[in-house]
Amino acid sequence: MKAAVIPARGGSKRIPRKNIRPFAGKPMLAYAVSAALSSGLFNVVAVSSEDPEILALARELGAATLLRPAELADDFTPTVPVIAHAIEALEQDAGRFDAVCCIYPAVPFLQRQDLIEALQLLNGSAEHYAFPVVRFPSAIQRALRLSADGKISPFNPDATNIRTQDLEPAYYDAGQFYWGRRDAWLGGMPVHPNGCGLVIPEWRAVDIDTPEDWQRAELMYRALSVTEDRS
């Protein structure tokens, strides 16, 4: 069996009530729940939160709910113990899961096909996690340091005279979801050193951490929706 766990705290600081704030006409949380439910991958889709309003919305959206302990809902709580808590709680009623997907709540560009392909990647791998990654637009080996007086210097002087096309590509975590094997989550295994990556386009990995991020993402989403309607 497989479960999706959406960890949605109520205490967002930079964008208050971020996880239930309307985005392009729907609560932000609705996009994660909809992608999980429509994927057909999960026996259970659950929202984990300490916030009663978020839990009530999750139930309206068709998700199961888990009341998260306060000690797992502060600004410094890592993801892995939150998912481990959810697994232990869900298995009391649902039985044992073999894989669990953590889906973050602010992911309006998440596509269900990415969830499907990442699970396939995990199943074909010896790794413990699988998650989407995006290629850096520039070679990280050619990164520059800017000092307080405005002086520029390379982080890696040895790469200064190497053509960018000859440097190894680098990738970053898209911050959308993590598929993980049950025992990896419960064992507290960190994700990045034990995972494999599904490469997705840069436009589908949009961080929404500030009001400016939100506005830009909403404009992108609406523009893409118009394009799809006309196609």
Contact 41, 115 (CB under 8 A): yes
CB 54 within 8 A of CB 17: no
Which portions of the chain are predicted below pLDDT 70? 226-231
Dist CA 36 CA 38 (whole Å): 6
118 within 8 A of 39, measured Cβ to Cβ: no
**Nearest-5° Cα angle at 188, 183 to 193:** 95
Helix, strand, or coil here: 220?
helix
Task: Give CA–CA dist 144/148, Å, rounded.
Answer: 13
**Token pair of 21, please?**
């704030």
What are the b/e assignments for 49-77, b being 16+ CB within 10 Å? bbbeebbebbeebebbbbebeeebbeeeb
Domains contained in the chain, CATH given: 2-133+171-230 (3.90.550.10)
Spell out the residues 6+ positions from residue 27 whose beta carbon is closer than 8 angstroms to its own: 19, 20, 21, 57, 61
Find where tokens 């990280």 sit. 140
DSSP state of 192: G
At residue 226, the pLDDT reads: 58
- Run of H or E residues at 53: helix 52-60
- What predicted TM-score, i.e. pTM, was given to this entire model? 0.94
The pLDDT value recorded for residue 224 is: 87
The predicted structure's pLDDT at residue 26: 97
Report the chain's terminal Cα–Cα distance, integer Å: 37
Looking at the DSSP assignment, which residues form a beta bridge with residue 154? Answer: 144
The stretches of the chain forming alpha helices (DSSP H) are 28-39, 52-60, 79-94, 112-123, 182-186, 211-230
